[in-house]
Amino acid sequence: MLLGKRRRLKRIMKDGKTVIVPMDHGITKPVAGIENIDDVLRKIDGLADAVVLHKGVIKNSAYVEDMEMGLILHLSASTAYHLNEKVIVSSVEKAIELGADAVSVHVNVGSESEAEQIRDAGIISELCDSFGLPMLAMMYPRGHGIEVNTETVKHAARVGYELGADIIKTCYTGSTESFAEVVEYVSVPVVVAGGEKKSEAELIEDVRNAMLAGAAGVAIGRNVFQHSNPASIVKALKRVIHSSKPRGEIYEGNLVAGGRR
């Protein structure tokens, strides 16, 4: 891996683990909690490892320039009217211009525009290699008749890995044992999406179990920026993630070196 990419990854992955807070939801639909993103950024800066933002938010922010967290420019978008049909709305070059440490792309495996999304992610991964910029791939099994289960999540994660992603974000499969199957199917870090708003206890339990399975951390948005105290929940996530044992050790007698059973 190129030196530039390694250096930028270290801004996002601390000791191979990360707490990422995506706040790219405003294009999808108006959601509570991101009316003033700078306010959220101030509250979680120095706690979260990185944030995911769209270019318009970055350009208009009065805080991004001075924040300590890593910055990831999201390149994909769709509205709630065509939720699964992601298109590319920015570029690797724009990410560099804006001072981003990485880019992210979203691919819905099983959607009607799956082919275009895969093509775009593959091209972007090559550009990232050329510029030394890491790529986070948000990989989900989504589309008409597509079920979310261990096999479809494994497939989606593998697609991102095969396309050249440096970090894979995907949904939690519900148990340590099942998510271990996802983690062991790729050889790049896998982070867990937060999904819909849930109780703090349920969120922390899911994250703890995902870490036992070998996850490298989380990419959690709504459960952070819609929390009554974003700093508090990020601190709780950080304690679980950055104090967990590294992938490859034995967990509960089921997982052995390298994540293999």
Query: What domains can be seen in the chain, in order of their start residue?
Result: 3-259 (3.20.20.70)
Catalytic residue among 17, 24, 154, 251: 24
Catalytic residue among 17, 43, 120, 140: 140
Q: Quick one: pLDDT at residue 233?
A: 97
Q: Quick one: pLDDT at residue 246?
A: 58
Low-confidence spans in the chain with pLDDT less than 70: 245-261
- Angstrom distance (rounded) from CA 110 to CA 193: 18
Q: Quick one: pLDDT at residue 245?
A: 67
- Told to judge if 169 belongs to the known catalytic residues of this protein, a careful annotator would answer yes
Q: Quick one: pLDDT at residue 137?
A: 98
Catalytic residue among 101, 169, 172, 206: 169
- Told to judge if 24 belongs to the known catalytic residues of this protein, a careful annotator would answer yes
- Told to judge if 39 belongs to the known catalytic residues of this protein, a careful annotator would answer no
